[in-house]
Structures are given as C-alpha cells and as structure tokens.
Amino acid sequence: MKIIGEEVTESEYRGSFEASDIVVIPYLSPHFKYRTSGIVVDALAAGKPCIVLDETWLATVVKGLRCGLAVNYRDSTSIASAIATIRRNYAYFSENAVRAYAKYRQAHSWERMADRVSL
C-alpha cells in the first residue's frame, strides 16, 4: 500500500496509478458532496477501479460507471471489505474502469463542451 501525501511531483502522481491495482479516494461528504475531483478520472485513465465514500460526487460517478465501489464509511473495515470485493472481482471492475474512461471522455470532451456552448 502506498499513501500519497500533499507534495508529489507529476511523475510520482502518474506513477502511483501505474503501480496501483485499486485507487482509494477517501474524500468526505459534505465537502465533496458537489465538489469534483480529477483524481477519479486519472484513475480511470489508468484503467484502475476506485473506492470512494458514499454521498459524494465521486460516488455518483463510480456508481454510474460501475468502475468501483462507493462505501458507506463506518470504520476501516468498510474500506477493507470494498478492497476485498474488488480483488475478488477484479476483471469486472478493471474492464469497467477502462470502458468508463472512454465513456467519460466522450461525454466530457472539449468538442462536447464547444457544442453545448455554441447553442
């Protein structure tokens, strides 16, 4: 297991996704109820399943794309159980992560944004 701190280089950041099997993003609600984070998109770009906390924007994305699990956090066993579930079903979640990234990019591309703006 590797925990990324606050000060990382771009190379360390990208390398952490390549070295990971599962990405755990423990952002809490209410702070991330509506706030977005690119980390889930970066994890999907690397084809990695995600574990996020429920009742956040990240959970909405992960559930909708079926690329990981959203945990109703009670204690550390909540996340440990989610890790074990993804490990048992790794092919399903990692394949969904790869497909999710393609789907996400299509829906959130610069071209798509330009189409919406130029109504």
Whether 48 is in a domain gets the answer yes
Q: What is the CATH number of the domain that holds 25?
A: 3.40.50.2000
pLDDT at residue number 79:
95
Task: Please give the DSSP secondary-structure letter assigned to residue 28.
Answer: P
Domain extent at residue 95: 10-117
For the record, the structure tokens of 33 come out as 């109820």
Whether 1 is in a domain gets the answer no
**Residue 77, amino acid:** T
Tally the domains of the chain.
1
Checking if the pLDDT of 44 tops 70, the result is yes
Checking if the pLDDT of 89 tops 90, the result is yes
pLDDT at residue number 107:
78
User: pLDDT band at residue 119, thresholds of 50, 70 and 90?
Assistant: low
Strands (E), the chain: 23-25, 50-53, 68-71
Whether 99 is in a domain gets the answer yes
Rg of the chain taking only CA atoms, in angstroms: 15
Whether 4 is in a domain gets the answer no
Whether 63 is in a domain gets the answer yes
Whether 2 is in a domain gets the answer no
What is the arithmetic mean of pLDDT over 80-95?
A: 96
d(C-alpha 4, C-alpha 94), whole Å: 21
For the record, the structure tokens of 80 come out as 């440990």
pTM score: 0.81
How does strand 68-71 pair with strand 23-25?
A: unpaired
